Chains A and B, each alone.
Chain A
Amino acid sequence: MELKRKDLLDIKGLDQEEIGLILDTAESFKEVTGREIKKVPTLRGKTVVNLFFEPSTRTRTSFEIAAKRLSADVINFSVSGSSVSKGETLLDTARNIEAMRADFIIIRHQASGAPHILARNLRSSVINAGDGLHEHPTQALLDMFTIRERKGKIEGLTVAIIGDIAHSRVARSNIYGLTRMGARVRIAGPPALIPADVETLGVSVFHSMEEALSGADVIMVLRIQLERQGKNYFPTLREFANLYCLTEGRVGHAKGDVMIMHPGPVNRGIEISPEVADGLSSVILEQVTNGVAVRMAVLYLLSGAGEKLS
C-alpha cells in the first residue's frame, strides 16, 4: 500500500488505512533515527522549503531534521525581512519558491486554508505545518504514533483533550484522527473555549475536569494560546489554573497507567503543573523525538506519490 497523495493538508481527509500506513512507516524511520549515522540517502537531490509565517521552533526544527536525515536540502524561509513584508501575496511568494525547484513546501500560516491554496496551485508537495485554527496534521500523527507505541493500539482507548479546544488546531487534527482510529475522545475546558456543535465530530464534552479524566488512558493537555486571544474567554489565568490545570491530584482520576501528552510549548503552572509535566507518566519529550520519525515518514511517502501524480 502507498499514499496516493501529493500533499498532506489535513487529517480530516485521511482514511484509517492511510493513517495506519504513515504510522507503520514512521516506526521504521524511528529505527533510522536511533542509528549512529542517522542519515539515509533516500531524498538526495530533493529540496524542502520551510515557509513559516508564524513563529515556531519545535515544528520547523523537526521538519528540518527530518528532511536532512533523508539527505534532502532544506531552506528556511523566514518571513520577517523578506518580500512578504514588502506586500507580496502568499501565492506569489510560493510560486517564486517553486520556480527555484522546491520539491516540498512546508507551510505554517495564520490563515486557515492557506496550505490548500498552495496545494491547488503548485506542483510541489505541500505539507501543512499548522494553518490558523484549522489543522496541524503532523502533530496529530506524532501524537497518535506516541499513543500507539506506548499502548500498542489506539482503538478503544479513552483520550481526554483538555484546555483551549476552540483555538487549537492540534485538538482539531487529533479529534479527526483519534475518532477515525477508533478511540473515544472526550474534551474539557472553559465553556467559552469549547466550540459550538463540537459533538458532531464524535466527541463528548465535559465541563468538569474530574469527570473528563475519570478512567482516561491518555490525557492530552493543550497550551493556553495567550497570543491568539484577543478577547477574554475566562476571567484570569489564575482562575483557569484553579479549574483546569492538570495537577497530580487530578491525574489521580485517570487510569493508573495513564500517559500525559502536551504539544508544547508548555505554560508551566497554567495548563499543567510542573510535577505532572516532568512526572513519570509524561511523554512530552517522547512526542518531540517521535515527531522527527513521523515527519520523515510523511516526506518519504509523499515523495513517491508525487512522482506518480505529476
Chain B
Amino acid sequence: MSEKVIMDPLGIGRALSRIAHEIIERNKGTEGLALVGIRTCGIHLARRIAEKIKEIEKSEVPVGVLDITLYRDDLLTRKGHPAVRKTEIPFDLAGTVVVLVDDVLYTGRTIRAAMDELMDFGRPAMIQLAVLIDRGHRELPIRADYVGKGVPTSKTAVIKVLLSEEGMEDRVILRED
C-alpha cells in the first residue's frame, strides 16, 4: 500500500483560484450565478470559490448546500443508511446558472443525484460542474466543466480530500493498494 500527497495547501488554493477565474470567464461575470456545494467537502470548496470570486469581481455569489442522501441510487441496496442532513438553497433557482461543487468526481452517480434533487427545487437556467479532483471511471455520461486536477487512478485506489474546515491540514491523498 502506498500513500502519496497529490495536492498540498498551495496547490489546492491555486486550483480553486483558477476555477474561480474560469467560472467568471465562462459566465461573463457573476450575474445570475450561484454555487451549490455537495455535502460535506463540496460545501467548503463552494464557499472558498465564492470567496475568491468576491476578491476578483467584488460581488457576492450565493452559496447553497445539497445533501443528496435521499436521492442516492444505492440507498435500498447498500448495507445500512448514511445519516441524512439538511439541504439549504437560500435563493430562487429559476433562471439561475448553478455551479455544482464537489471534491471528487468518480462514477458520476453523486452528480446524477445532485441534479435530480436540484431540479426538485426549481428550474435553473443551466447547471455546470466544478470538482477539485477528476479521477475517471465514470459510470454515467457526466463530465465536469471545471477541474482542479485530473488524476488517473485504479478502481481500487482511494482518494481522500482533507480540508482545514474539517480540522485537518489542506491536502489530497492518493492511496494505492
Listed in ascending order, the chain A residues whose CB lies under 8 Å from chain B are: 1-2, 24-25, 27-29, 31-32, 35-37, 39-43, 45-46, 70, 297, 300-301, 303-305, 307-308
CB distance from B141 to the nearest CB of A (A): 20
- B84 touches which one: A1, A29, A305, A308 (CB < 8 A)? A29
Asked if B80 and A31 sit within 8 Å, CB to CB, the answer is: no
CB distance from A173 to the nearest CB of B (A): 24
Query: Scoring B residues 72 to 87 as 1 if CB is less than 8 Å from chain A, else 0, what string do you get?
Result: 0001111111011111
A310 CB to nearest chain B CB (Å): 11
- Are A31 and B71 in contact (CB-based, < 8 A)? no
**A305 touching B71 by the CB < 8 A rule?**
no
Give A145 Cβ to nearest chain B Cβ, in Å. Answer: 14
Chain A residues positioned under 8 Å from B121 (CB to CB): 35-37
What 12 new A-B contacts, CB under 8 Å, besides A1-B83, A39-B120? A29-B84, A31-B88, A35-B121, A36-B122, A37-B121, A42-B75, A46-B76, A297-B84, A304-B81, A305-B81, A307-B77, A307-B79
Given the complex, which residues of A lie within 8 Å of B116, measured CB to CB?
41
Q: Which of B84-120 contact A (CB under 8 A)?
A: 84-88, 116-117, 120
Would you give the shortest CB distance from A71 to chain B, in whole angstroms?
Answer: 9
Closest to A303 in B: B76
Tell me whether B134 is interfacial, beta carbon within 8 Å: no
Inter-chain CA distance A31–B79, complex, in Å, is: 25
Q: Is the CB of A28 within 8 A of B79?
A: no
A28 with B67: in contact, given A41-B116, A303-B76 (CB under 8 Å)? yes
In contact, B84 and A25 (Cβ under 8 angstroms): yes
Interface positions of B (Cβ within 8 A of A):
67, 70-71, 75-81, 83-88, 116-117, 120-122
Judged by DSSP, the binding face of B is: loop
Q: How far is the CA of A308 from the CA of B86 in the complex (A)?
A: 25
Give Cα A305–Cα B80 distance, bound, in whole angstroms.
6
The smallest C-beta distance from B108 to any residue of chain A, in angstroms, reads 18
| CB-based contact B84/A37 at 8 Å | no
Residues of chain B within 8 A of A307, CB atoms compared: 76-79
Q: How far is the CB of A31 from chain B (nearest CB, A)?
A: 4
Residues of B within 8 Å of A27, CB to CB, are 86
Q: When chains A and B are docked, how far (Å) is the Cα of A40 from the Cα of B72?
A: 10
Instruction: Choose among A35, A36, A40, A303 the residue that contacts B81 (Cβ–Cβ < 8 A).
Output: A303
Which 6 pairs show the lowest CB-CB distances between chains A and B? Answer: A304-B81, A40-B70, A28-B84, A31-B86, A42-B70, A37-B120
- Docked Cα-Cα span, A277 to B121, in Å, equals 36
Q: Which residue of A lies closest to B88 (CB)?
A: A31
| Chain A: CB-nearest residue to B81 | A304
Contacts of A24 in B (CB 8 A): 83
CB distance from A217 to the nearest CB of B (A): 26
Collect the chain B residues with CB atoms within 8 Å of residue A32's CB.
70, 87
Cross-interface CB contact of B120 among A35, A45, A46, A308, cutoff 8 Å: A35
